[in-house]
């Protein structure tokens, strides 16, 4: 009987500890990210309104931005995602890093002729965005931020 009571107490303690670990893991997974996922409505107000001005690029943001056109199933997109998170956190307050899921927002992708992913737009405050396709190393993103967006 003593062994059964002891085993029950140990089981409760173990389950309690596991519950705390699950809570910690959930909190880690819910950390805020530096990148911002945009819907069409948000894109039209934060980036550019391609519906009212389909032929001319006019950036609406208050800071330069990177726009990542991606898909959740895309291998190279998964490679680029953590790099963009690092860039978003390192340049927080200086640039935005926006993400557009081409499957969830096909109208935006179609408006800009996005046919392969990842496609990355570097959008300075003035002038037209510069575009690149495919996965790039962090050094290439850092260089593009410095030369295109921040212009140091």
Q: Which residues, listed in sequence order, are joined to residue 101 by a DSSP beta bridge?
A: 70
User: What is the pLDDT, as a whole number, of residue 43?
Assistant: 94
For residue range 91-146, list pLDDT tens digits in order.
999 999 999 999 999 999 999 999 999 999 999 999 999 999 999 999 999 999 99
Read off the pLDDT of each residue in 8-35 and give the average, rounded to a whole number: 51
> Between 54 and 46, whose confidence is greater?
46
**Residues recognised as catalytic:** 74, 77
What is the CB-side half-sphere exposure of residue 89 using CA atoms within 13 A?
10
Residue keyed to tokens 């490679």: 79
């Amino acid at each position: 009987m003593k062994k059964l009571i002891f085993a029950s107490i140990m089981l409760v303690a173990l389950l309690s500890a596991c519950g705390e670990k699950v809570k910690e893991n959930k909190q880690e997974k819910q950390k805020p990210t530096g990148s911002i996922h945009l819907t069409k409505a948000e894109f039209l107000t934060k980036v550019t309104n391609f519906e009212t001005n389909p032929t001319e690029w006019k950036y609406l943001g208050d800071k330069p931005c990177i726009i990542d056109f991606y898909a959740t199933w895309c291998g190279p997109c998964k490679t680029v995602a953590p790099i963009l998170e690092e860039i978003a956190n390192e340049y927080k307050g200086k640039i935005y890093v926006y993400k557009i899921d081409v499957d969830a927002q096909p109208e935006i992708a179609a408006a800009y002729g996005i046919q392969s992913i990842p496609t990355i737009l570097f959008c300075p405050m003035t002038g037209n965005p510069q575009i690149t396709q495919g996965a790039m190393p962090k050094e290439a993103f850092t260089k593009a931020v410095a030369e295109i967006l921040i212009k140091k």
